[in-house]
Amino acid sequence: MPNPLLTLSDYELPPFSRITWQQTEEAIDQIIIKSKNTLSKALENPTWENLIWPFEIMQAQLEDIVGVISHLNAVMNTPEWYQAYENTISKVSLYQTEIKQNKKFYQALLKISESEESLKLDLVAKKVIENLLRDFRLSGIALPEDKQTLFKNLNVQLSKLENQFKQNVLDATQNWSLLITDLGRLTSLPTNALETAHLTAKQQNKHGWLLTLDFPCYHAVMTYVEDRKIREEMYQAYNTRASAYFPGGKQWDNSPVMMEIMKIRQTLANLLDFNNYAEYALATRMLKTTDEVMNFLSDLVTHSRKFAEQDLKTLKEFALKEFQLNDIKVWDVAYLSEKLLQKKYLITEKELQAYFPEEVVLQGLFNIATRLYGMVIQEVLDFDKWHDAVRLFEVYDSQNKLRGKFYIDLYTRSNKQEGAWVANCKVRIGREGVTFQVPVIYLIANFGKSSGATPTLLTHDEVITLFHEFGHCLHFILTTIDYPSITGGNGVYWDAIELPSQLMENWCWEEEALVLISKHFETQLCLPKDLFLRLIATKNFQAGLKLIRQLEFGLFDFKLHMQPVGEEDTYIQNILDDVRTKTALLPVPSFNQFQNSFSHIFSGRYAAGYYSYIWSEVLSSDVYEKFKSNNKVFDQEIAQKFLMAILEQGGSKDFMDLFINFQGRPPRIEALLKAYGFKLSSS
């Protein structure tokens, strides 16, 4: 039987039931050999048609295979899949670096870019060549042979270390739990969370309620459980994951892994004559200099700190008055904030959840996409899946043309990596108006699933998360760019990639949209007006504290990648401590090792780029202000312009040019400050 990973292009969708970890090594080895042969033959007569177009297809096929392996490792992680994935990324990292250090390929690209053939190419095709030449330079094409070899080997090591970091976080998360046998200690924990904790205990043949570090459980405990000792114990475990302080064990300590990652990143940047890794990362970002990023983040700290201080002052006054608590600890903040929210706005998450059954939210979300962009979304019932909880949907435009498909896998479970994300399964490929392959996307989350008779009820935060990831999904699916390297989110600057996702979050706060996504699971009534008004009133609750927390992450990440790697084991902690002198308003316990599980920057694509979330908020707030200025949140004229100017364009142009084409000017920060409810003086 042929290896299904090698024939993915023959299938509209991957045959997941036939894919095993044992097939991965053969698939990767063969696709790399095939790719090398294709490239070697193409270099005999290098033209756009003979070299660059075949290379685009070749890379897309390789990335489809790697994508499936990466995906299965993430959603059904086992030691075998982990090892298969680690072997995969090592081989692919080595191969990709070899390609970008192939001087014959580079010279051929230069020749094509200067040829008469290039003059006849459209701007999108020219962008493909421009990106390739840039990537060659960023992969050490100009280095002498010995340094090229070093650069190549370091990239392979880095891929392994980043994967090890992520795996250590997952292993630590899954190897700690807290059994509670007295239900009275879990007062106020929402029904869904209680049911899940009881079921988890039962599955492990334990009596009681088993609390875990999966985020839905952790969030629920920290927000609702009155027992302060439980909150403290959960906080300590969660914030020491993958560190020497972790109560579940030291075997997953990421400290030495982080040091090696930072040393390699610095060496890679220095080899290419960048002063630091932050400069290297900005070579493919909207913001071009480290000063731009630091000034942006520092200015926002200045804007937000006074609002954060007022938020904390209000919380302390409330804690003293209502709970006689004059010494707030970090593990009290979420609980006290929820109590303050309930008292101030007469609203509880439990009350809200009743109006957000998962299916109602999903169908309402799809309805919103229809109203904005004219897209119709239909479920596919018969398909090959990796887990019973997985669903599949197709997206059609107003001309009834299939634009793409997406899977959703929404629930947390063991052996599934934490968080929420969107990734390519298959990218769009076409030529001259003929689409050969429509995009297929994974949309993954980790919501708590109801284990009782009631349907799964989402918190409003989970609704926002779903909208966010669906915004990414639309970006990848609605593209009209046919070249794989710049279609959908591919080739989009990393500090702009969050614009479509953050923009979608806004509709979670609009009455016209909430009517579509809410229906009480018992009464079938939509969110009532009074509850809507109370919800809207909470939108900027503790906005100062929330923003300054994100700024802490962004500043820590960027400063870490700007500064030389220290010799002491504590140098990473020292940088974080320094940032916290400007951002932390409560003392942080000495045991806190949050950085050891900061996967975004140590094993994701946000190294020297976590600021992207906040910069993208500048973009999305500016765009949404255009909708709000017309008082029509479903303004189809603006939505269609955004579709054509941003969503359909992928990475085909410099993103600043795309933004200006839509907005008529560069982005402004004022809309973000307004969105956070910050009232600034006119002076």
* Each residue's pLDDT tens digit, 568-609: 889 999 999 999 999 999 999 999 999 999 999 999 889 999
CA 114, CA 94: separation in Å to the nearest integer?
Answer: 29
Average of per-residue pLDDT across 33-46: 94
Q: What angle do CA 258, 260, 262 make, to 5 degrees?
A: 70
469 in active site: yes
Per DSSP, 647 falls in state: G
Confidence grade of residue 683 (pLDDT, cut at 50, 70, 90): very low
Catalytic residue, from 162, 195, 349, 469: name it. Answer: 469
Q: For residue range 601-612, list pLDDT tens digits in order.
A: 999 889 999 999
pLDDT > 50? residue 329? yes
Q: What percent of the chain stands above pLDDT 70?
A: 99
Average pLDDT, the chain: 95
Q: What is the pLDDT of residue 680?
A: 63
Strand runs (DSSP E) across 398-495, as ranges?
402-411, 421-426, 429-431, 434-437, 440-447
Please indicate whether residue 453 or residue 347 has the higher confidence score (pLDDT): 347
Domain 357-520: assigned CATH number = 1.10.1370.40
Confidence grade of residue 188 (pLDDT, cut at 50, 70, 90): confident
Q: Based on C-alpha coordinates, what's the Rg of the chain?
A: 25
Q: What percent of the chain stands above pLDDT 90?
A: 91
Name residue 495's amino acid: D
The answer to whether the CB of 60 falls within 8 A of the CB of 35 is: no
CA 3, CA 529: separation in Å to the nearest integer?
Answer: 56
In CATH terms, 4-100+102-138 corresponds, of 3.40.50.2000, 1.20.1050.40, 1.10.3720.10, 3.40.630.10, to 1.20.1050.40
CA 646, CA 658: separation in Å to the nearest integer?
Answer: 6
- Helix/strand/coil for 447: strand
pLDDT > 90? residue 650? yes
Length of the chain: 683
Q: Residue 604 corresponds to which tokens in the numbers above?
A: 């994701």
The answer to whether the CB of 303 falls within 8 A of the CB of 309 is: no
Confidence grade of residue 187 (pLDDT, cut at 50, 70, 90): confident
φ, ψ dihedrals at 514, nearest 5°: -65, -30
Per DSSP, 77 falls in state: -
The DSSP bridge pattern shows strands 440-447 and 402-411 to be parallel
Domain with CATH 1.20.1050.40 in the chain: 4-100+102-138
CA 451, CA 459: separation in Å to the nearest integer?
Answer: 16
Name residue 470's amino acid: F
Per DSSP, 593 falls in state: -
pLDDT > 70? residue 681? no
Confidence grade of residue 190 (pLDDT, cut at 50, 70, 90): confident
Least confident of 116-130, 192-206, 444-458, 547-561: 444-458
Q: What angle do CA 519, 525, 529 make, to 5 degrees?
A: 95
CA 207, CA 194: separation in Å to the nearest integer?
Answer: 13
Domain 255-345+543-609: assigned CATH number = 1.10.1370.10
CA 391, CA 406: separation in Å to the nearest integer?
Answer: 8
Q: For residue range 154-175, list pLDDT tens digits in order.
A: 999 999 999 999 999 999 999 9
Where do we find the tokens 């779903």? Answer: 466
Domain with CATH 1.10.1370.10 in the chain: 255-345+543-609
φ, ψ dihedrals at 425, nearest 5°: -100, -50
Domain with CATH 1.10.1370.40 in the chain: 357-520
Residue 423: left if φ>0, alpha if ψ -120 to 50, beta else—which one? beta
pLDDT > 90? residue 451? no
Q: What is the pLDDT of residue 431?
A: 87
Please indicate whether residue 683 or residue 62 has the higher confidence score (pLDDT): 62
